[in-house]
Chains A and B, each alone.
Chain A
Amino acid sequence: MWDLINYPIYASILIGIAIAVIGSLIVINKTTAITGSIAHGSFGGIGLALYFGISVILSASLFTAVLAIILAFITIKFPHRQDSLIGVIWALGMSIGIIFLSLTPGYQSDALSYLFGNILLVGKKDLIFMGTIDLVILISIIFLYNRFLAMSYDKEFLTLRGINANYLYTYFLILTSLTIVMSVRAIGIILILALFTIPSLIAEKWTKKFFYMMIISGILGTVFMAGGIIISFYYDISATPAIVIIASVFLLISLFKK
């Protein structure tokens, strides 16, 4: 059995690292809607890649990075209308994806596999890409931990200290978009948001330091994914929904804590 689930388990660890850092930052910066917007918008990049026959990873990375920059601009310039505008980007990216898919001749199950993902199908190349993004994320958090924390608490004060909070915020959204691209094949567009927020929401209740919130959410994320993989392997059901259901049950239980 290990031979069949070793890659998926490696993938859960690698995605777990991204959940630890990016998932926790999403929760404390309240960028859940933005993350949903980037995740769904990534479908545009996938549609473009399938139509032009180029690399999905490359196309989706560039496409979501552009979305991240647009979303950063919107939230900084129009803070009071951001929720509606985020919804527009959400739909726009998806629409672009659907149009290019409908223009692409042939069987389109490939595109659907990105909507729901399949962690049991990740290959060596996916793992290498995940590892690379993890490395970028880890180096970023080592150097930017104090800044990210200050940004999450009080952007204005960070600006006063001579650090450009808007650039930092944009960089964080770009990291978010890379994280989404690296997990989209395994988890799928639709459920990525749940997987990236639930572990951090649980972790937040158990700690008073952001550093520990990251560690706990990374471990929880990996455990939920591994649990889902094993269940899906034994009962022959789809892995992602199993992961999300396990995670949600834990979230419900943790909500009753104190």
Chain B
Amino acid sequence: MKAVEVKNLYFKYNKEWILENINFILNDKEFLAIIGPNGGGKTTLLKLILGFLKPNKGEIKIYGKFPKQARKIIGYVPQHISFSIDIPITVFDIVLQGRLKKGKFFYSKIDKQKATEVLEKLHIYYLKDKRIKDLSGGERQKVLIARALVSEPKLLIMDEPTSAIDPRGQTEILDLIESLNVTRIVVSHDIKILLRKVDKIAYIHKKAIFHEGPKLNIPKDKHFCEIELINFLKDENCGI
């Protein structure tokens, strides 16, 4: 089953093309890792998939639906904490937000149970009653991951979920992502993600270069070899 299908996608901000002719298919339960330089268009691509931005050309389908119709099955961890962290709100309240949906006004017992479970899974249950502004950056990031997971999404989209997390925490979170039996799209600057059981790798810089296959089988592709990011893999794969 096709989970995400991107066809002939073009997007520009103002007059500048950010993404050109992106095409890919991600099947159900596959894990796609996206890498690429700053400003390459990774976050933009995710926002298009979420339906926050509209393509200038081309089409995106998520489980056969347009992004806006598919939102309820998506879990999302944003890259930037652009929102107000100084409001009086506890970790538990934030995680519960992942259970909100149209027509639902109150949280049920099940919602609270799911929130508890996910906090335990991420080893942050003890932070449950803390005010969000009193947490460290990495702890906040884990809370956002919990909020995305609590809705039990079919498609999980994460924009640099481990950027503020310490090495041990990163391993834990990547282990968790790897073990999830759902479709996953994870943007990362941390090249270690390529050592994981990813099904597909995309390098995005305006255009996208795709690679399909098991881990560490980095293609002998000129573009991949040019990426400074995966320098440490060059020797094995590029022969240069």
Contact = CB atoms under 8 A, between A and B. Distances in A.
A147 B147 contact: no
B88 interface: yes
Given A143-B105, A152-B84, A155-B83, A161 B97 contact: yes
A156 B52 contact: yes
Interface stretch (A66-74, A171-179, A204-212): A204-212
Nearest to B134: A208
Interface string A154-177: 111111111100000000000000
Interface stretch (B16-24, B70-78, B171-179, B225-233): B70-78
B90 A161 contact: no
Contact of A208 (B78, B98, B101, B131): B131
Interface in B112-138: 129-132
Given A144-B105, A153-B83, A158 B88 contact: no
A147 B76 contact: no
A163 B102 contact: yes
Contacts, number: 81
Instruction: Say whether chain A's binding surface is mostly helix, strand, loop, or mixed.
Output: helix
B94 A153 contact: yes
Interface string A186-207: 0000000000000000001001
A146 interface: yes
B101 A162 contact: yes
Chain A: interface residue count, which band? 20 to 34
Given A152-B87, A160-B74, 9 more contacts: A143-B105, A149-B93, A149-B97, A156-B52, A157-B76, A161-B71, A204-B88, A208-B131, A212-B88
Interface of B: 50, 52, 71-72, 74, 76, 78, 83-84, 87-90, 93-94, 96-98, 100-102, 105-107, 129-132, 147, 151
23 contacts: A30-B84, A144-B105, A149-B89, A149-B93, A152-B87, A152-B89, A153-B89, A153-B132, A154-B97, A155-B83, A156-B52, A157-B78, A157-B97, A158-B97, A160-B74, A161-B71, A161-B98, A162-B72, A208-B88, A208-B89, A208-B129, A210-B88, A212-B88
